[in-house]
Structure 1
Amino acid sequence: MGEVADHTTTPVVRTAGPRDHLGVMRVLDGANLAVDAATVANRIEAGTVVVADHDNRIVGALVAVPRHETGAHVEAVAVRRRRRGQGIGSRLVGAATIRWRPLTANFDPGVKPFYDGLGFD
């Protein structure tokens, strides 16, 4: 018999640490995003991975490539399927825009409304 997931609390958005590597990879793999494990480890070490942590479980992740002195480029952003539509992706991007300026992203036309809503052009 499985446990009922508690989605009523808001995940904590924070910078990822080395212990988060597996959780980040699971979120990215679940979203079919092709970012290899070594790249994610390097980005975590550089401090350019932001995660949404719900009770020590990574439910969302944003991986960025450092650019210039203070800027970054979004390489990947993903949220676990069961947690989509809860504003987690928006919170991850929002946290990234506070940390890195400028923040840039390339995206598929299907997610353009998501980025438009966050102020990207």
Structure 2
Amino acid sequence: MVRDATAGDLPAVMNVLDGANIAIDADTVSRRIGSDMVLVAGDRRRPLGVLVAIPRREGAHIEAIAVRRRRRDQGVGTALVEAATERWGRLTAAFDPPVRPFYESLGFDVERRGERFWAERV
């Protein structure tokens, strides 16, 4: 189940992001929750995955996506991206090389930009 994060989800959302070594601060995540730009996958008690986005003129930019280590490769990240696509349409993301296969497997067009990658999905 994928749903909008609520203010009460902030500690659990930060736990998932911190567990994946995602460098994003709680104030930023709180603001994104307040603007309905954070999705969580899992039940009400414990998010299994989190997607934080920034609104764009067309669609949204994925600022962070993380899945609990024990739940990786079980479709949680895919469910988050699919829900984000349904909600916002065009998605973009910037990421480090190890994450490239994830984005490619979801049909993103990926290109190298310096030491990082840029992806777009329409």
TM-score normalized by the length of structure 2: 0.85
| Partners of 2:64 and 2:7 in 1: CA distance | 18
1:111 to 95, 99, 106: 99
In structure 2, what is the equivalent of residue 120 of structure 1? 108
- Alpha-carbon shift at residue 55 of structure 1 (Å): 5.1
Higher RCO (CA-CA < 8 Å; seq separation 6+): 1
Matched length: 109
| Partners of 1:74 and 1:86 in 2: CA distance | 20
In structure 1, what is the equivalent of residue 75 of structure 2? 87
2:34 to 41, 45, 50: 45
2:2 to 9, 13, 16: 13
| Partners of 1:55 and 1:43 in 2: CA distance | 19
| Change over 3 Å in CA distance of 1:84–1:41 after alignment to 2 | same
| Partners of 1:55 and 1:18 in 2: CA distance | 13
Opposite residue 118 of structure 1, the aligned amino acid is L
| Partners of 1:18 and 1:53 in 2: CA distance | 16
What do residues 19-68 of structure 1 show as CA deviations (whole Å, max 9, x unaligned)? 11111100000000011000000000010100012352111100001111
| Uncovered stretches (5+) of structure 2, i.e. residues with no partner | 110-122
What do residues 74-118 of structure 1 show as CA deviations (whole Å, max 9, x unaligned)? 000000111111110111011111111221111211111110111
Q: Percent identity?
A: 60
RMSD over aligned CA atoms reads 1.1
Runs of 4 or more above 4 Å deviation: none
Structure with the larger strand share:
2
| Uncovered stretches (5+) of structure 1, i.e. residues with no partner | 1-11
